[in-house]
Amino acid sequence: MPPAPTEAPAPPGQAVNADAKADAARRLRRQRRLRELGPVIGLVVLCLAGTWLNPDFATWDNAMNVLTRTAFIGIISVGMCFVIISGGIDLSVGSMAALIAGSMILVMNWVAPYVGSPLRAVLVGMVVALVLGAAFGIAHGVLIAKGRIEPFIVTLGTLGVFRAYLTYFANGGAITLDNTIADVYGPVYYASWLGVPIPIWVFAGVALLGGVLLNRTRYGRYVQAIGSNEQVARYAAVAVDRTKILTYMLLGMCVGVATVLYVPRLGSASPTTGLLWELEAIAAVIVGGTALKGGQGRILGTVIGAILLSVISNILNLTSIISVYLNAAVQGFVIIVVAFLQRGRR
């Protein structure tokens, strides 16, 4: 693979040993490219296997089903990618999604008679979801950055808190959206534009935005700097606390967006909503080539990671060659193999 000369960042100063350095740079680049290709190779192989096992896999409708399903986890993963790059983690996203879903349904049901039309109630609900997501995110960020509590502990705590409140609001049962509102809101999940369902468009939009934010803005560079070495970033006058709070807020808003898309699907939230989403989102980010220790990561890889995870369960559902008891094992093996393909230097 010939190196693209423009890509190589010129090593500052020291022109000694240029040859050896260029060589090392080339090797490093080749390694990185291989690593970036890992998840893609995994996905392609899986898709070929899926088509071979059941030709229905390769249909447009099935592809749209899988991508639409991926949208929730995918959107959350984009936010999670930022948090992990900054050296943090958020275990609460599944519970947060459940609580936001329940709260927005309650608000929509309650507000509908006052605002006049179901459409306006839905708009109010969407705003509530985004505001709640941002508020929860800011709360996490402040506790972590200003309160100096480990992100693992803060979000482990809120994981329990959020779900318990949803269960309390739902009285242990389900919170259901009124039918008139559900009819107006339904198209947000079920409708298509240019033959592609709305959630996929939103997912693509969020991913694109995330990519630009991470790679083309000062904020994105700060996030990476904090993740690779927080002390150095602090000495370099990076506003570490503010950047961290902003990062958790962004993730919270991603959860809000995902919930806005999730609620119209079933029109209800129950204590089992969003169960284990946090692990799926974290897995998508890591499978996509982001280091769990932070410092660097890729949005595109994260998107592919998320798609990869839902393709596995889709293929398992479309076939019956493997005992249903072993589904989780297949998923586990694939995750490990893909992670192996994209392993980096330690």
Sites of contact with another protein (CB under 8 A): 54, 56, 59, 61-62, 65, 69, 167, 170-174, 176, 190, 265-266, 268, 270-273, 275, 313-314, 317-318, 320, 324-325, 327
Phi and psi at residue 138, to the nearest 5°:
-60, -40
Q: How many other β-carbons are positioned within 10 Å of the β-carbon of residue 12? A: 5
Nearest partner of 274 among 196, 138, 195, 163, judged by Cα = 163
The conformation of residue 186, written as its DSSP 8-state character, comes to: T
Smallest gap from residue 307 Cβ to another protein (A): 14
Residue 124 beta carbon to another protein: minimum distance, rounded to whole angstroms: 24
Least CB distance from residue 179 to another protein, whole Å? Answer: 12
CB-hemisphere CA count at 13 Å for 8? Answer: 18
What does the chain come to in residues? Answer: 346
Distance, in Å, from the CA atom of 96 to the CA atom of 99, rounded to the nearest integer, reads 5
Q: For the stretch 68-94, what's the b/e string if a residue is b when 16 or more beta carbons lie within 10 angstroms of its beta carbon?
A: bbbbbbbbbbbbbbbbbbbbbbbbbbb
Q: Which is nearer to another protein, 173 or 205 (CB)?
A: 173
CB 254 within 8 A of CB 83: no
- Nearest distance in Å: CB 71, another protein: 13
CB of 172 to another protein, least distance (A): 2
Q: Which is nearer to another protein, 20 or 324 (CB)?
A: 324
User: Given the complex with another protein, which of 145 and 182 has the nearer CB atom?
Assistant: 182
Q: Which is nearer to another protein, 147 or 160 (CB)?
A: 160
Nearer to another protein, 100 or 249 (CB): 100
